[in-house]
Amino acid sequence: MKNIFYKFGCLILFSTLFTACNGEYENSSHDKVMKMGISNDEQVPNSIKDVIANSDLIVRGKFNEELEIINAIRDAHDPSKEGHDYQKGHIYDFTVYETYFTNNSEVSDSVNILLSSETQIDVVDEENNIEDQVIIPNLDFDKPDFDKEYIFFLYETNIEDGLYSNAHAIAQIEIDQSGELKFISDRIVGQLGENIDISSNNDEVHSLTEHRGVLNIDVKVESQLIDDILGDMKLEDLEEKIKK
């Protein structure tokens, strides 16, 4: 029998930590479907005040363009360098229409924002040779709509000067034409994504990724369920809370 290991680093960027960093399974056939479980250990906001309090910068505006794709996993000793593992990070130029809050005295009309879309997990054998790679989507990411306005709650990363990322597990709000607000996430009460179930104790969501490649692997990820902290809040209501 051949031992198969799931190898990936603990992710500390974007307030997320995968605690089940290694799993081991024995399988004599690549045709069988192997099971893998991952648990997230993270803090999620209990109120909009939590999101506001964690922010270095709060802005409203529109995406202008995608600048580049980088590895969002960084070296622990030198964040300017990539880490050994891989998380797909998109750097966008974001045009700022209004700055609600900033820790920086200089207010720019644009800001660079790093958003993570997926995590790559290497599946290795006993000799550390890569057998396959599994891609796990980020439940708190959605491809930006360049025609829509968003509000971002950001912190300044130490990857490079002037590069910001989400200040909390959820930190991006979509604004529709009527002023309705919605956080971008597939694990918020009332807006769960596909293949996502709520646990029996109603505090976690379980998402399933079915990988069919060199190996067949089903990956179940356990993440914290997030309350609908916006409720019926309109844009003017949120702006009032931010400015308090």
DSSP codes, 166-219: ESSSS-EEEE-TTSBEEES-SSBTT---TTEEE-TTSSEEEEEEEEESSSEEEE
* Cα 142 to the center of its chain, rounded Å: 9
Contacts of 235 (CB under 8 A, 6+ apart): 175, 179, 181
The ranges assigned to domains in the chain are: 44-119+136-204+226-243
> 3-class SS at 71?
strand
Residue 15 CA to residue 166 CA, distance in Å, equals 9
Q: Would you say how long the chain is, in residues?
A: 244
Kindly tell me the burial class for residue 4, based on how many C-beta atoms sit within 10 Å of its own C-beta (0-12, 13-18, 19 or more). Answer: buried
Residue type, 243: K
Q: For the whole model, what pTM was predicted?
A: 0.86
Residue with tokens 């505090």: 203
Residue with tokens 């409203």: 60
The architecture of the domain spanning 44-119+136-204+226-243 is Beta Barrel (2.40)
CA dihedral of residues 36, 41, 42, 46 (deg, nearest 10): 100
Contacts of 240 (CB under 8 A, 6+ apart): none
Residue 117 CA to residue 107 CA, distance in Å, equals 27
**Helices and strands: H and E segment counts in the chain:** 2, 14
> Comparing C-alpha atoms, which of 42, 35, 3 is closest to residue 19?
42
Q: What is the pLDDT of residue 105?
A: 66
CA dihedral of residues 161, 164, 169, 172 (deg, nearest 10): 180
Sign (positive or negative) of CA dihedral 144, 91, 219, 214 = positive
Per residue of the chain (244 residues), what is the pLDDT tens digit?
A: 444 444 444 333 333 334 344 444 444 445 789 898 998 878 899 999 999 999 999 999 999 999 999 999 999 999 989 998 899 999 999 999 999 999 876 778 999 999 999 999 988 888 888 889 999 999 999 999 999 999 999 999 999 999 999 999 999 999 998 889 999 999 999 999 988 999 888 889 999 999 999 999 999 999 999 999 999 999 999 999 998 7
Kindly tell me the burial class for residue 19, based on how many C-beta atoms sit within 10 Å of its own C-beta (0-12, 13-18, 19 or more). Answer: exposed
Q: What is the pLDDT of residue 10?
A: 34
